[in-house]
Amino acid sequence: MNKALVLLLLSLMSASALASEDTNPYQQWKSDRVERLKAPYGWLSLVGFEWLSVGENSIGAAADNDIQLSHGPEHLGHLIMTSDHAMFFVPNADSGLKINGEPATDETPVYADTHEQETTVFTVDTFQFYVVERGRMAFRIKDTQADTRLNFTQIDYFPEQAEMRMEANFIPYEPAKVIPTVNVMGVLSNEESPGRLEFEINGQAYSLDVFDSENAYFLVFADKTNGQTTYGPGRFLYTDGKVNEQGKVRVDFNKAYNPPCAFTAYSTCTLPPLQNRLPVALTVGEKKYGDGKY
């Protein structure tokens, strides 16, 4: 075989390997995950979580604001909140603030992320902020120039394990089970679970309660790797779709990922309920990020 033909074959094999890697669903999941984190207003851009008070809440870069931004216009305006949590924003003239993509010129009603109306989104300079309800109302503030975003390194993973990709039995709760949950800020809430997943790892039976999501189930769980090789409080996971006609749910523990709190101190992640703390080490999915204290 001549040298030119050998080089051609090696080139084709290399291209084939790269194409295979690019179309590997797990590799694609990892790539998409990083891109979402690094997006201009992804979780890495989160720089603030500021509680709102009944009455006026001013915001801007000047020191006399109730909520002070690190840069940008000195006075953007103020959010007015009534005792029943109705909210309005009164903008300052010529601040450059936009509300839902339009220049802010008049008093505007504001809706939190839990409202049936679309969440009201503010943008100015490199900032985006909006109201979230976490027991109380608060401004969640993001900045494309956040250190956590600009200095993001990489996510490390355990080796992929095919046996950790499985079909679990779905056991429905009828009616839905109410699960008391607490987040990292200590806020307690009651969440409904439509059912639990039952599965085996190395011949041992386990189960996890799930929360509902649009096209999948959402799991908040802990295992014996937490605080060692993975994020201390636990990890998150979405199933691959919902229950099928056979009563099965596709679960891939290789896709277990760090909650936003592993990257920023300003998130409000839910902690795993007691029944979702597995007495086994799941050495799959994302490892602990960077040099975080957890």
pTM across the whole model = 0.86
Q: Are the C-beta atoms of 243 and 259 separated by less than 8 Å?
A: no
Q: What percent of the chain has pLDDT over 70?
A: 91
Contacts of 225 (CB under 8 A, 6+ apart): 281, 282, 283
Give the chain's count of helices (H) and strands (E): 3, 17
* 44-150 placed in CATH 2.60.200.20: yes
pLDDT mean across residues, the chain? 92
Give pLDDT < 70 ranges for the chain: 1-22, 292-294
- The predicted structure's pLDDT at residue 290: 83
| 3-state class (DSSP) for residue 30 | helix
Rounded to whole angstroms, how far apart are CA atoms 118 and 290? 35
List, by residue range, all CATH 2.60.200.20 domains of the chain. 44-150
Number of neighbouring beta carbons within 10 Å of residue 163: 9
Number of neighbouring beta carbons within 10 Å of residue 285: 25
User: Cα 230 to the chain's mean position, in Å?
Assistant: 16
Cβ-count burial 216-248 (b if 16+ within 10 Å, e if not): bbbbbbbbebbeeebbebbbbbbbbebbeeeeb
φ, ψ of residue 61 to 5 degrees: the values are -85, -20
∠ at Cα 151 (23, 28), nearest 5°?
A: 10
Q: Using one digit for the tens of pLDDT, what is the confidence trace for 138-177?
A: 999 999 999 999 999 999 999 999 999 999 999 999 999 9
* Own/partner pairs, 76-80, CB within 8 angstroms, 24+ separation: 76/122, 76/124, 77/104, 79/52, 79/110, 79/131, 79/139, 80/55, 80/56
Amino acid at 50: E
Tokens standing for 256?
């277990």
- The predicted structure's pLDDT at residue 66: 98
Residues recorded for the chain: 294
H helices within the chain, ranges in order? Answer: 3-23, 25-38, 147-150
Give the containing element (helix H, strand E) for 219: strand 217-221
Q: Using one digit for the tens of pLDDT, what is the confidence trace for 222-235?
A: 999 999 999 999 99
- The predicted structure's pLDDT at residue 15: 47
Rounded to whole angstroms, how far apart are CA atoms 123 and 114? 20
φ, ψ of residue 45 to 5 degrees: the values are -90, 0
Rounded to whole angstroms, how far apart are CA atoms 131 and 118? 11
Q: Cα–Cα distances in Å, from 230 out to 34, 117, 128, 149, 158?
A: 17, 37, 30, 21, 10
